[in-house]
Structure 1
Amino acid sequence: MGIQNSIGHYLEPQTVTTKQRLKICFAVSALFFIIVATVIVTLTFTTFKIKDPDVSLRPVGLENFQFFTPNSTIEPLSMLITVVNPNYGRFKSINSIGYLNYRHNVIAKVPFEKIVIPAHSKINVSTTAGIVTKKLMSDPKFWTDIEVGALNLTANVILPGKVSMIKIFKLKATVTISCGIYLNLSAVDADSSCITKIKL
C-alpha cells in the first residue's frame, strides 16, 4: 500500500529496476579496479621499483693457472661471481653463455646454468672459463703485458629470465653483466669492476 501525501494522494514506493542495479554494480566494480590499479602502479614506482643487481667477479685458483701452455687447447680458470639482489622480486634465469675477452678477442666461453636469485638476498655463483691459451700467446701485446706483470680482461653475459613479484606477478626480464678484470700476475691477485643492468 502507498503512503498518503499532504493533499490526500497516495505515493507508490519506488523500486530499483534491473538496469539500475547493473549500473550500480558496474560503477562499484569500476571503482574497485581503479583503486587496485592505483595501488599496483604506486607500488611499482615506489616499493617494488626494480633496481639493478650488484655483481662482483673474482677468479679462483689464479696461482695454479698456466698461461704458457702452447700444446694445451683449453686451460680452465674457476670464477666466483657474487650477486646481490636488492629487489622485492625473485629473478630466475635460463641457461646462458658468457664470454671472456682479451683486447677485444674472445678467449673463453663461460657457461651459466639456471640461476635463481631470491628477493633481498646475496648468492655466490661458481663457473669455469675454458681459456684458449693459444689465443693469448698469439697476441703480440700479450708478452708486453706479461713483462709488466698484469693482464686486463673483460667479461660479459646476458641472462634472460623472469622476475616474480610477491608470487603473483611474473615479468620477463634480462640481466646484462659487463665486467672489467685486472689480473695482477706479480701479486697473483685479481680485482674486478662490474656494471649490471636489468631490463623488463
Structure 2
Amino acid sequence: MANKGLKFCLIVSLLFLIIVTIVIVTLFFTVFKPKDPNITVHPIGLEHFDFSLLPNITANVSLGMVITIENPNYGSFEFTNSIGYINFHDTVVGEVPIGAELVPAHGQINVNTWANFMVAKLISVPKFWSDVLSGTLNFTSTSSLPGIARMFKIFKLKATAYSSCNISLRIVPRNVDTKCISKIKL
C-alpha cells in the first residue's frame, strides 16, 4: 500500500514539475521575450567651437545632445561607458561618449552627452561640398552598449544594445531629423 502511495506522489510531483516547466518556458518565449529598446537622439545646440590656424588649420565642434533610451522589457539593463561613432559617407567624422547608466524595467532615461565633430576630416570627404550646396548633410551613427540585463533581481544575462541612426541635418531651416533602429542581443 505504501508503494502505491509513493508511486502516486511521484507521478503527481513529476506532472506538476512538467506543467511548471512548460509555463515558465512559455512565459519566457512570450511575455518575457526581450524586446528591442527605443532610442532617440535630440540635438540641443552648439557647445564648443575650436578653430586654429597654426601649425595646421584645425577645427573641432561639439554638439550637445540628449539620447533618450526607453526599455520596454520586464528586466532592467545596466550598460558600461561606451563611444558612439558618427559617419559621413563611410568616414568617421565624430565621436559621442556615452556614460554608464541603468535603464529600469519599463522605464526610460535621458543621457546628456555631446558629439565631437572633427571638422577637418568632415571637410576632406569628397562629397561634403556638394552636400552642403544641396542643403542637407546626411550622417549615420552607430553605437553598441554592452551591459547586463537583470530580470526580477534574480537572473543576470550579458546583453548588448546596438543602435544605428540616420541623421539628416538641413542647413537652411537649421533642423535635424533622426531615425534610429535598435536591437538587443543576449
Q: Same fold (TM over 0.5)?
A: yes
| 1:29 Cα offset (Å) | 5.4
Pick the structure with more strand per residue.
2
* Secondary structure of the structure 2 residue equivalent to 1:187: coil
Q: Which runs of 5+ in 2 are unaligned?
A: none
The aligned amino acid for 1:196 is: S
Give me the whole-angstrom Cα distance separating, in 1, the residues matched to 2:49 and 2:169. 13
Q: Answer yes or no: is the 8 Å Cα contact 2:50–2:60 preserved in 1.
A: no
Q: Which runs of 5+ in 1 are unaligned?
A: 1-13
Residue aligning to 2:66 = 80
1:98–1:34 Cα change, 3 Å: same
Within-5 A mapping of 1:78-117:
78-117=64-103
* Secondary structure of the structure 2 residue equivalent to 1:74: strand
Give me the whole-angstrom Cα distance separating, in 2, the residues matched to 1:169 and 1:128. 34
2:34 to 41, 50, 54: 50
Of structures 1 and 2, the larger Rg is shown by 1
Residue aligning to 1:9 = none
* Secondary structure of the structure 2 residue equivalent to 1:167: coil
Q: Answer yes or no: is the 8 Å Cα contact 2:163–2:181 preserved in 1.
A: yes
Give me the whole-angstrom Cα distance separating, in 2, the residues matched to 1:124 and 1:134. 30
| 1:171 Cα offset (Å) | 1.4
Q: Answer yes or no: is the 8 Å Cα contact 1:68–1:133 preserved in 2.
A: no
> How many aligned positions are there?
182
Give me the whole-angstrom Cα distance separating, in 2, the residues matched to 1:59 and 1:199. 27
Within-5 A mapping of 1:115-126:
115-126=101-112
Q: Given the two structures, how large is their TM-score scaled by the length of structure 2?
A: 0.85
